[in-house]
A and B are shown apart, each in its own frame.
Chain A
């Protein structure tokens, strides 16, 4: 009995891994429309971060251990890390400002994509705070950059993005990062404030020097299918489609032109019916009196 249970236990991860790998293969065939939502840590606040951001590998290992059930399936996937660098002006050049970690997912075609992006921001040093304040005063640009290839940072290509520094401060520093990916290559990064940013804009120093980061990973949409394919699809459904249509119209929409006149006639009839008894009851005495004054001038 115990042996059977053990064998069952051993089977379980196997089955799990099977299922997961199947799921992975299935996913790769799917339209990538919902990949936009495939990001994690929409709000990653850096200050309460229990781990120092200088040790990103810890993060990844932690995540792996946390998703223990996925461990079997994730055997083929790796984590990738890349740093975000920023330029605070004043000729300081680019300095590391945070790091991204993401899971590499290999699809059946051999292409790799990133999922489950996490972002940890380094805390701003005193110097950086001062530099940032200066940026705010000068109303100049805050520039960030990312390596163009996630796996191969030695290629000295960087993707830049900038925003006016005054757009970032709210209560804390709010940033919104959209990363456009193509496989493991970063095409573009769009860096901006969370809300709108109307200009000209007064200077505002944030009360909290912490970053609230929102990150989104984006891949290309597929073009809508060509009309001929659509047509073929619709032709097969057309029989249903046309029959389905009439019920969509409500009863009221269909017959209002009959109902309203009918309703009017009914109302008329009702008021008429209400009036007749009244006239019959109270009108008998008054009617001659009313008629009399009219009749009188005629005679004259």
Chain B
């Protein structure tokens, strides 16, 4: 990096950059930064702000900067309010206003404004059905209003101006077409070309002076057509190529043009095409040169799925098909060993080795290390990645989550396990459920898709007539092993899926035990509900249930704002209910699936660190039972502020915040123990049966809990936090902390034990209690990501492997990172270095020795008998 300049802008308006073009490269060019009412000129050589100017007009937002070809005059165009257009002439060297002009336009503007030619602006009006053509000359502004319907046939939907052209060419995008228009002075516009949607137009690219090219990409059947034109002569086409692309990439979203000089010295063009699934293709000479799945940079949700079970029989066709490949592979390997292979062949051998290696197989392994990571991206694409090498097994751009003609962008929400076949439906493939919304707003009706998790085919999809506010996967299953899901809409009605009578029956028998809660950040409240039969509005719909408000907690909005709420993972397994402490005493963990952790911060400490004084900042941590709404524990941290990150597991909560008094980050831990079971220590009572160990946990009775807590300083700011999950929950836990440096740190939970004391007794040391320190140690070796960085880290997921000691960790952000972790070492498997030969030799030697000694003893016995 050469320089970086921070520019303070008061308003949160959109900022623009404009580089003043200058034919001489050596000269110091100014970069104009536009933000709200401010304009800054930054030197491109060293980043020094050479001048800054604030315009005094109220509500002004700068939209455009126009550079006049001669002398150092810059025109700055802004909109004040909704209808006032202001043009300022500035001296580019000093930033002084030379002249200014303002004009009110009759109907108001929607804010989209662009430059038609050197002194003509084109602006879209408020209704998006007419264009203003504005000419500015010195101090005078004159305008003309043109209805779009006058020159574009059958235009419909929302209209957008595409910022691109010069030479009086404008691109206008409506929902059905993309039109290229030519400015005819002040009188109006003329359609030169129009392309059916989906199509995309690139910015104009200056090749030589007065020679600008642009690209258009449109769909023709299963192919895309890539057209390059010159702005000065629109009828002519430089390039028209057809390119085959994968169908699962959807339609073209954007295109960026780039030119190069061909071997015959003529101009060649290549284009970078962004597809609907956010993948990137480079097109050149009628072919896709390379492609990247950049949709994986915006993962919304992750789920792990098992791979298919290895089948015993392999069909003959497979073998025959593979025979040639097999031969070829062996020839290659032979070449490799004889040092005859070329570089390409060596690479091929390497690839073969990787492909045939154990970890990349497409079948389930004994330890459960090989899995499919099924991720849902923001573009509505579901991608399955192999844990072995991260390759894409299948991908599916869900049709129900694709943008509709009306321009509504559906949003993908969550991904769930839908069906995990067991005994009865073993033959079927497992399937997954994807839930989304058909629009961006939270009241938009939802959509549901069921996909085969081995092939990615869409098995079933339906759109709801209700919205999706919350999705609750239940533990119940119907007869075909489909997991039951409750979808709560914005009117607090719950809808049951799958819609089968079987599912309904099994749900109704369990309905009285179903509760759920919702966290309303807007209203600063948490509410708990139970379910009741039949909906309020539609009593015919037997799959719809109304809800009854059972409890509510309302935080006083002048003192507390909800910052974070966390619950235990549904699939978490806990091995031991009790914890044996040093003096042979037993503490029973308070293990409730309904435990939720909520942290609130004082409203003036909700901003950035340093925005509030320690006296006025506080953080309150709550432990709440989600069924009864009981506050089990409530603790205030004075002088603490967010952002808060928390993780809940077993009977403990760990949360991270900033301590303003100590000027450091802190991680606090709360462990919660059940006191009502504490009497069970008496052996006599156990013998006489006077214990309550077998009594079921109920949320109706008042729990007697004991809480232990402690807080420690921590060096890093945290982006994400998770905890390792193992198959049986025996292995000790590690916290996975995504640090600000985009790395993942594995921190033993032992460091976050509230019972750590300064001088642990001998017994406590034996138990594994670490002496108390005021900050948590960061051991460089405990970085899970080693030296790698997971750019823009957003989430960490831990998936249990079948092997108890091991857990699979998947981290996502812009980059993806996957590794295997063993928090307590791999105590249940032999290491790779283990010498099986030695073991075998030892056994053989022992057997031999046994045999020999047996013969000896027989002989001796015989000799003794003869004596």
Interface set of A (CB-CB < 8 Å, partner B): 139, 141, 143, 148-149, 157-164, 167, 176, 178, 180, 182-183, 185, 187-188, 190, 192-193, 195-199, 218, 220-224, 226-228, 230-231, 234
The residue that B631 contacts in the complex, of A185, A190, A230, A231, with Cβ under 8 A, is A190
Shortest distance between the CB of B818 and any CB in chain A (Å) = 35
A163 touches B628 (CB 8 A): yes
Return the chain A residue nearest B707 by Cβ: A221
Contacts A190-B628, A190-B629 hold; do A223 and B711 have CB atoms under 8 A apart?
yes
Shortest distance between the CB of B486 and any CB in chain A (Å) = 19
Contacts A160-B551, A180-B631, A183-B556 hold; do A223 and B637 have CB atoms under 8 A apart?
yes
Interface SS, B side:
strand
A143 touches B700 (CB 8 A): no
The residue that B620 contacts in the complex, of A157, A220, A228, with Cβ under 8 A, is A220
The residue that B554 contacts in the complex, of A159, A222, A230, with Cβ under 8 A, is A159
The residue that B713 contacts in the complex, of A162, A222, A226, with Cβ under 8 A, is A226
Neighbouring A residues of B550 by C-beta, 8 Å: 141, 143, 160-162
| Segment 128-143 of B: residues with Cβ below 8 Å from A | none
A234–B666 alpha-carbon span in the complex (Å): 21
B772 contacts A by Cβ under 8 Å = yes
Contacts A163-B628, A190-B629, A234-B758 hold; do A224 and B711 have CB atoms under 8 A apart?
yes
Shortest distance between the CB of B719 and any CB in chain A (Å) = 23
Contacts A148-B554, A187-B555, A190-B629 hold; do A226 and B549 have CB atoms under 8 A apart?
no
**A-B CB contact pairs (8 Å), 24 listed:** A139-B512, A141-B530, A161-B550, A161-B628, A162-B550, A167-B701, A180-B631, A183-B556, A187-B631, A192-B628, A192-B630, A192-B702, A193-B702, A196-B701, A196-B702, A198-B701, A199-B700, A220-B620, A221-B635, A222-B636, A223-B635, A223-B637, A223-B711, A227-B711
B659 contacts A by Cβ under 8 Å = yes
A224 touches B709 (CB 8 A): yes
Return the chain B residue nearest A139 by Cβ: B512
B758 touches A195 (CB 8 A): no
Shortest distance between the CB of B121 and any CB in chain A (Å) = 51
Neighbouring B residues of A199 by C-beta, 8 Å: 696, 698, 700
Interface string of B533-573 (1 = CB under 8 A from A): 00000000000000011111111100110000000000000
Shortest distance between the CB of B510 and any CB in chain A (Å) = 13
B773 contacts A by Cβ under 8 Å = yes
Q: Closest 3 A-B residue pairs measured CB to CB?
A: A227-B774, A196-B701, A185-B556
Return the chain B residue nearest A186 by Cβ: B554
Shortest distance between the CB of A187 and any CB in chain B (Å) = 6
A222 touches B551 (CB 8 A): no
| Segment 685-720 of B: residues with Cβ below 8 Å from A | 695-696, 698, 700-702, 709-713
B551 touches A221 (CB 8 A): no
Shortest distance between the CB of B764 and any CB in chain A (Å) = 15
Shortest distance between the CB of B601 and any CB in chain A (Å) = 14
Chain B interface size, under 10 / 10 to 19 / 20 to 34 / 35 or more: 35 or more
Interface set of B (CB-CB < 8 Å, partner A): 512, 527, 530, 548-556, 559-560, 620-621, 628-631, 633-638, 659, 662, 666, 668, 676, 695-696, 698, 700-702, 709-713, 758, 772-775
Q: How many A-B residue pairs have CB under 8 A?
A: 133
B638 touches A161 (CB 8 A): no
Shortest distance between the CB of A86 and any CB in chain B (Å) = 14
Neighbouring B residues of A190 by C-beta, 8 Å: 628-631, 702
A162–B549 alpha-carbon span in the complex (Å): 9
The residue that B700 contacts in the complex, of A159, A167, A218, A234, with Cβ under 8 A, is A167
A206–B633 alpha-carbon span in the complex (Å): 32
Return the chain B residue nearest A245 by Cβ: B759
A197–B628 alpha-carbon span in the complex (Å): 12
Shortest distance between the CB of B714 and any CB in chain A (Å) = 12
The residue that B552 contacts in the complex, of A159, A197, A220, with Cβ under 8 A, is A159
Contacts A160-B549, A227-B772 hold; do A187 and B556 have CB atoms under 8 A apart?
yes
A144–B239 alpha-carbon span in the complex (Å): 75
A164 touches B710 (CB 8 A): no
Neighbouring A residues of B629 by C-beta, 8 Å: 160-162, 188, 190
A158–B552 alpha-carbon span in the complex (Å): 8
A141 touches B548 (CB 8 A): yes
The residue that A221 contacts in the complex, of B554, B559, B636, B668, with Cβ under 8 A, is B636
A198 touches B713 (CB 8 A): no
B662 touches A226 (CB 8 A): yes
A198 touches B695 (CB 8 A): yes
A226 touches B758 (CB 8 A): no
A190–B701 alpha-carbon span in the complex (Å): 11
Neighbouring B residues of A234 by C-beta, 8 Å: 758
Return the chain B residue nearest A141 by Cβ: B550
Return the chain B residue nearest A225 by Cβ: B711
A231 touches B774 (CB 8 A): yes
Shortest distance between the CB of B602 and any CB in chain A (Å) = 11
The residue that A188 contacts in the complex, of B548, B553, B560, B636, with Cβ under 8 A, is B553
Return the chain B residue nearest A144 by Cβ: B551
Neighbouring A residues of B559 by C-beta, 8 Å: 182-183, 185
Neighbouring A residues of B700 by C-beta, 8 Å: 163-164, 167, 192-193, 197-199
A188–B525 alpha-carbon span in the complex (Å): 10
A276–B840 alpha-carbon span in the complex (Å): 64
Neighbouring B residues of A192 by C-beta, 8 Å: 628, 630, 700-702
Neighbouring A residues of B695 by C-beta, 8 Å: 198
A223–B554 alpha-carbon span in the complex (Å): 22
Shortest distance between the CB of A279 and any CB in chain B (Å) = 45
Return the chain B residue nearest A188 by Cβ: B553
The residue that B634 contacts in the complex, of A162, A185, A220, A224, with Cβ under 8 A, is A220
Neighbouring A residues of B551 by C-beta, 8 Å: 160-162, 188
A219–B171 alpha-carbon span in the complex (Å): 64
Neighbouring A residues of B621 by C-beta, 8 Å: 223
Return the chain B residue nearest A234 by Cβ: B758
Neighbouring A residues of B772 by C-beta, 8 Å: 227, 230-231
Instruction: Kindly list 8 other residue pairs between chains A and B, CB separation below 8 angstroms, not including A198-B695, A198-B696, A228-B774.
Output: A178-B631, A182-B559, A187-B555, A188-B631, A197-B700, A227-B713, A228-B662, A230-B772
Neighbouring B residues of A139 by C-beta, 8 Å: 512
A227 touches B620 (CB 8 A): no
Neighbouring A residues of B552 by C-beta, 8 Å: 158-160, 188
A267–B631 alpha-carbon span in the complex (Å): 62
The residue that B553 contacts in the complex, of A159, A198, A223, with Cβ under 8 A, is A159
Neighbouring A residues of B638 by C-beta, 8 Å: 222-223
Shortest distance between the CB of A246 and any CB in chain B (Å) = 14
A231–B695 alpha-carbon span in the complex (Å): 42
Contacts A192-B701, A197-B700 hold; do A224 and B710 have CB atoms under 8 A apart?
yes
A187–B556 alpha-carbon span in the complex (Å): 7
Neighbouring B residues of A224 by C-beta, 8 Å: 709-711
A183–B628 alpha-carbon span in the complex (Å): 23
The residue that B698 contacts in the complex, of A143, A148, A198, A218, with Cβ under 8 A, is A198
A183–B633 alpha-carbon span in the complex (Å): 17
Shortest distance between the CB of A231 and any CB in chain B (Å) = 6
A185–B696 alpha-carbon span in the complex (Å): 35
Neighbouring B residues of A176 by C-beta, 8 Å: 702
Neighbouring A residues of B549 by C-beta, 8 Å: 143, 160
A220–B676 alpha-carbon span in the complex (Å): 23
A218 touches B634 (CB 8 A): yes
A228 touches B713 (CB 8 A): yes
Shortest distance between the CB of A93 and any CB in chain B (Å) = 13
A187–B560 alpha-carbon span in the complex (Å): 10
Neighbouring A residues of B555 by C-beta, 8 Å: 182, 187
A188–B559 alpha-carbon span in the complex (Å): 15
A141–B532 alpha-carbon span in the complex (Å): 11
B560 touches A182 (CB 8 A): yes
A180–B634 alpha-carbon span in the complex (Å): 9
Neighbouring B residues of A220 by C-beta, 8 Å: 620, 634-636
A251–B844 alpha-carbon span in the complex (Å): 58
Shortest distance between the CB of A248 and any CB in chain B (Å) = 11
Return the chain B residue nearest A190 by Cβ: B630
Neighbouring B residues of A221 by C-beta, 8 Å: 633-636
Neighbouring B residues of A228 by C-beta, 8 Å: 662, 713, 774
